[in-house]
């Protein structure tokens, strides 16, 4: 049952565990970030690193321990590690290091404030074997419209991670097709304005501390510095845009192949926005907009829109923005449906803006897509 946690502004056993999980995963990824991580290429030609594997194994181990009945829809799977003993050994060491870290010195939560967990998934047990491989493979759940499950992107923005840019560990609890809890660690996103972002390619990490974000449906969104553990969570809100939409700044992907940067430029023009877009890897875009570092996040499909977005790329970020006063939809204005399985198959593209300004932004999106002859991406609402 709910036990009040000194470290968190909202009392929830799921949130207490989620925070522990993403902060432990970020210990592992921060350590690897300092080296040039080697990467493997997956069947869809996208990269995966030992950071992605370790982070997923860490988060899944903790979910399996505290909520053994919950399914997990996560990006990675263990087959490449089963075939590569050396890589498996390195991932195992990182998982062990992160799971053994003292709870209070990491999250600020006393061990006794965690829910009682299943003994089966304790650190001593997996240490004896390659148990973390089966933890990793627990991410194969198919999701769906009813009941609850977790959505995990162990490293979102793997290309950013490899480049020395932004990346995020993104965990959400989804219930009946909607994210109800989110926890996102952005180790390279400075918490304090005075902290300097790492320059592209500089692998020493952020000067100061990265940021961790949480949100619970109906209870608001918050952020704090990743360290020290005693740092308090502060509420976050999107900018009120009192100067009108023309004063807005918008965020988009770094990779031109992931969203349509040309269409975004036309939308900015239609809205009277003259400032250039801020390009950033990963769901750090959602987090930045949620706390007012930017105002609009546009992720419009490229080409014929055949790419189908994955739920783990959006679940945590979408809740953060909604709880910070935003609306999140696809390019036709429809809510994102996280109950369709592992993908957002009912949606095309993502548009995030302040609630009272969102309709105006979607109208500009529709106009730009129709002008380009891509009105078919708007479905029936064309």
List of residues contacting Mg ion (CB under 5 A): 46, 75, 153, 155-156, 158, 313
- Answer for which of 103, 156, 209, 323 binds ligand PPS (CB under 6 A) is 156
* Distance between CA atoms of residues 103 and 143, nearest Å: 30
**Within 10 A of 44 (CB to CB), how many other CB atoms are there?**
5
Q: Is 319 helix (H, G, I), strand (E, B) or coil?
A: helix
Q: Is 247 helix (H, G, I), strand (E, B) or coil?
A: helix
Question: Hey, which residues are catalytic here?
Answer: 52, 158
255 touches ligand PPS by CB under 6 A = yes
Please give the C-alpha separations between residue 268 and each of 16, 89, 194, in angstroms, as whole numbers.
40, 48, 29
158 touches ligand PPS by CB under 6 A = yes
160 touches ligand PPS by CB under 6 A = yes
Minimum CB separation from Mg ion for residue 66, in Å? 23
Stretch that binds ligand PPS, among 102-110, 111-119, 143-151, 153-161 (CB under 6 A): 153-161
273 known member of a binding site? no
Q: Please give the residues from 298 up to 337 whose contact with ligand PPS meets the rule CB under 6 A.
A: 307, 310, 313
| Helices 50-66, 13-33: inter-axial angle, 10-degree rounding | 160
* Distance between CA atoms of residues 91 and 100, nearest Å: 14
- Contact present, 86 and 73 (Cβ < 8 Å): no
- Answer for which of 103, 281, 295, 322 binds ligand PPS (CB under 6 A) is 281
Our CB check for Mg ion shows the closer of 224 and 348 to be: 348
Segments of the chain assigned E as strands: 39-41, 47-49, 71-74, 148-156, 168-175, 178-186, 211-216, 220-225, 234-235, 250-252, 278-279, 296-299, 326-329, 350-354
**Within 10 A of 305 (CB to CB), how many other CB atoms are there?**
17
- Contact present, 335 and 269 (Cβ < 8 Å): no
Q: Is 340 helix (H, G, I), strand (E, B) or coil?
A: coil
Task: Sort strands 178-186 and 39-41 into parallel, antiparallel or unpaired.
Answer: unpaired
Our CB check for Mg ion shows the closer of 113 and 156 to be: 156
Stretch that binds ligand PPS, among 110-118, 158-166, 229-237, 241-249 (CB under 6 A): 158-166
282 touches ligand PPS by CB under 6 A = yes
85 known member of a binding site? no
100 known member of a binding site? no
**Within 10 A of 177 (CB to CB), how many other CB atoms are there?**
18
Minimum CB separation from ligand PPS for residue 100, in Å? 26
Minimum CB separation from ligand PPS for residue 22, in Å? 14
Asked whether the bond before 228 is cis by omega within 30 degrees of 0, the reply is: yes
Our CB check for ligand PPS shows the closer of 61 and 259 to be: 259
159 touches ligand PPS by CB under 6 A = yes
Site string for ligand PPS, 83-122 (x = CB under 6 A): ----------------------------------------
Residues interacting with ligand PPS, by CB under 6 A? 46, 75, 153, 155-160, 253-255, 257-258, 281-282, 307, 310, 313
Can you say which residues are annotated as belonging to the binding site?
75, 153, 155-156, 313
């Amino acid at each position: 049952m709910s036990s009040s946690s000194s470290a968190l502004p909202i009392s929830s056993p799921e949130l207490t565990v989620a925070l522990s999980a993403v902060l432990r995963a970020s210990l592992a990824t921060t350590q690897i970030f300092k080296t040039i991580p080697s990467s493997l290429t997956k069947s869809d030609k996208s990269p995966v690193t030992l950071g992605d594997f370790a982070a997923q194994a860490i988060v899944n181990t903790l979910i399996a321990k505290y909520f053994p009945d919950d399914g997990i829809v996560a990006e990675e799977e263990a087959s490449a590690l089963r075939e590569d003993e050396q890589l498996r050994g390195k991932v195992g060491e990182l998982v062990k290091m992160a799971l053994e870290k003292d709870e209070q010195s990491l999250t600020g939560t006393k061990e006794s404030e965690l829910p009682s967990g299943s003994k089966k998934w304790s650190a001593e047990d997996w240490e004896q074997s390659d148990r973390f491989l089966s933890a990793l493979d627990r991410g194969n759940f198919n999701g769906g419209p009813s009941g609850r499950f977790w959505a995990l992107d162990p490293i979102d923005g793997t290309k950013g991670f490899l480049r020395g840019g932004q990346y995020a560990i993104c965990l959400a609890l989804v219930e009946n097709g909607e994210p109800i809890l989110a926890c996102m660690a952005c180790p390279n996103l400075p918490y304090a304005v005075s902290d300097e972002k790492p320059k592209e390619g500089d692998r020493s990490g952020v000067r100061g501390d990265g940021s961790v974000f949480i949100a619970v449906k109906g209870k608001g969104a918050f952020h704090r510095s990743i360290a020290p553990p005693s740092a308090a969570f502060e509420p976050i809100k999107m900018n009120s845009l009192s100067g009108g939409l023309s004063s807005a700044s918008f965020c988009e992907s770094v990779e031109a192949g992931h969203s349509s940067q040309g269409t975004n430029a036309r939308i900015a023009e239609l809205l009277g926005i003259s400032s250039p877009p801020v390009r950033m890897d990963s769901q750090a875009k959602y987090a930045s907009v949620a706390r007012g570092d930017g105002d609009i996040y546009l992720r419009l499909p490229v080409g014929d829109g055949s790419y189908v977005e994955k739920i783990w790329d959006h679940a945590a970020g979408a809740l953060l923005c909604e709880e910070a006063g935003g609306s999140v939809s696809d390019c036709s204005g429809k809510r994102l449906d996280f109950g369709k399985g592992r993908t957002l198959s009912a949606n095309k593209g993502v548009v995030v803006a302040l609630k009272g300004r969102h309709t105006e932004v979607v109208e500009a999106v529709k106009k730009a897509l129709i002008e380009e002859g891509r009105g078919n991406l708007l479905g029936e609402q064309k």
